[in-house]
Amino acid sequence: MPSPAPAPNRSARTHLAPAPAPAPAPKETSMPSLVLAHTRYLLIEQIRVPIAILASAFFPAISMVAFVVPFAGRDPVAATTATGSLMFFGAMSAALIGLGNSVAQERELPWNPYLRTLPAGPLPRFAGRILATLAVMLISVIPVLVVAALFTEAAITPARLLLGFGALVAGVVPFMLMGLFVGFRLASKAAMAVSQLLFFPMAILGGLLLPPQVLPRFVQDVSSYVPTRGAAELIWWAIADARPSALSLVMLAVWTAAMAAAAAWAYRRDEGRRFS
């Protein structure tokens, strides 16, 4: 007969390996960090190809040296208002031409459709684009301020300078929206051409290159209805206490609302065309 199986040793203890600790849950990326990441990326792209920054910064400064310094440099009021005008000229270039062209170029990149499918939505990209444009805009006004400080009698207090920066940011909003509209509606080559065609006539009509009082009468009549005039008068009020026209400010607000609606429509149309 087969011998019975030995009884199990009840005193022996089975040692089980401890269960691995659960992996920590991935941290959720906050919206501000996403916005900063997009802003940093866009600024790096601007610095790699700095032609837009150079154009926005140095053309107004050269205009200061060529026209303001010899003809209005000794007049404190004229030099101060001219400085504000050319500061806005550079900021407007970054907002309209720079933003419109960069948005149009980004739409042509193969990874742009992928970015639009990310769960964060369009806010980080839009906010990053706006912040990067504001940074370029503020960089563009530095050469003008340096020329005004060194070679003209322009005089401004620190408080009014800060107020002027606030007025500049407020005045440039419709042109940023205009740049978004152009960028979402046109290809990059067409966006560059159209934004320049919009930029220079509005700069002239708004009195950025010549004082409004020396413009022909019919140009003065039209000037109050373009957004550049309202933005310029807002800046002149901030830095030189020049009283703005109510009509110019109302038209600036109207242009801002109209461009906001146009930019939103262009974005939705582009979204529908690409993903429907």
Structural domain includes residue 108 = yes
pLDDT for 229 equals 96
pLDDT value at 6 more than 70: no
Structural domain includes residue 47 = yes
0.75 exceeded by pTM: yes
Domain count, the chain: 1
- Largest Cα separation within the chain, whole Å, is 127
Per the prediction, the chain carries an average pLDDT of 86
Structural domain includes residue 17 = no
pLDDT per position as a tens digit, 36-49: 888 898 888 888 87
* Number of other residues whose CB lies within 10 A of the CB of residue 11: 5
Q: Which residue's structure tokens are 């940023």?
A: 176
The end-to-end CA distance of the chain, in Å, is: 82
Q: Please compute the mean of the pLDDT values over residues 156-181 and round it to a whole number.
A: 95
The confidence band for 153, taking pLDDT boundaries of 50, 70 and 90, is very high
Token pair of 183 as six digits: 């960028």
Most confident of the following: 91-95, 204-208, 254-258: 254-258
pLDDT value at 245 more than 90: yes
pLDDT for 84 equals 95
Structural domain includes residue 92 = yes
pLDDT for 7 equals 57
pLDDT for 48 equals 81
Structural domain includes residue 175 = yes
Give the torsion sign (CA, 127, 130, 134, 135).
positive
Sequence letter at residue 225: Y
Residue 42 near residue 129 (C-beta atoms within 8 A): yes
Separation in Å, CA 218 to CA 26, 130, 214, 226: 64, 35, 11, 13
Separation in Å, CA 224 to CA 50, 162, 179, 196: 34, 25, 21, 21
pLDDT value at 19 more than 60: no
> For residue 109, what are the domain limits?
32-275
The confidence band for 113, taking pLDDT boundaries of 50, 70 and 90, is confident
pLDDT per position as a tens digit, 60-107: 999 999 999 998 889 999 999 999 999 999 999 999 998 999 899 888
